[in-house]
Amino acid sequence: MLTSSLGSLLMAAAITGATLTPVSAGTPETAEPEIGTIAIGDDITLRRLVVHNAAPKGTVLFLHGFPETSVVWGDIATALGDEFEVHAFDWPGYGLSSRPAAENFSYSPRDYAAVLKAYIDKSGIDRSKLTIYAADIGALPALLLALDEPDIAQRIIVGDFAPFNRPAYMHERLQNLKSEPAASLTRAVMNQTSDEILQNVYRRGLAEDKQFDLAAGVKKDMVAGWSHGALTSADAFYHYYAAFTRDQDWLEANLGKLRTPVKVIWGEKDVYIDSRMGAEFAERTGATLDILPGIGHYPHLQAPERVVAEIRALPD
């Protein structure tokens, strides 16, 4: 169920200070995003953002990364709403979505793939006209789902993630999350330094002239979403990584079965996951690879107009 009053309250804050250029800002008649909830199981309810279109060219589903929430897609969703129906949701453990106990839900990429499938099915999205745009922790679940169900989407766009077990291409903190006891120590540090992470995670690795800040509403939502409930977003991230190597290895072992068309987009200045990871994935899957000059780990935050242009340029 979508709740217009909640959507208006949150998105009014989130969209204020939009960074999209006028060229990509859409038309004044474009519908505003609505924020509400959807239950996908007995113990999981997702907060979601939807922009409706009476006659859409297609549907775009955006999947956020760490430590984000679905609200980061607000400006982009608004810009694309004149042509597309647009969806985004908070992963379990992030934003205002459910945070089931880890013994009941592993927060692994494989479990997130099941969440993604349930969302698409429950929302009644036409798979034949669906583009999934998945960043960071959202990318591996999308690809795992595509291995099981090649028709899950018309295409998948992925970027700035770790498809394979290549620790040398990953930031030291991410390497540490892959095994104990370093993983538990890193989890504790991340929870202790949450303020610093939320303030600077998207700026790291960028030249001074490329530094940017988030709209006040987006930042506020990320801060609130970090500790909504007993399990923090750092805790969810820790559990995601507990099974990360297993799910990376599964993807690599079954890469030849990937049939869904995939495109790879990567920030040249990504300090968390080296672009060589994206290059290897693109080469082995035959996917197109776009390296974005001067862009870091969060292209959709740093240059949202590029994401809008990418989606608008897609073939029917």
Taken in order of first residue, the domains within the chain and their CATH numbers are 2-312 (3.40.50.1820)
Of residues 1 and 257, more confidence is placed in 257
Of all residues in the chain, the percent with pLDDT exceeding 90 is 86
pLDDT at 18 over 70: no
Q: Specify the pairing of strand 155-159 against strand 130-135.
A: parallel
* Confidence category of residue 117, pLDDT binned at 50, 70, 90: very high
Mean pLDDT (the chain) is: 90
Mean pLDDT of 264-274: 97
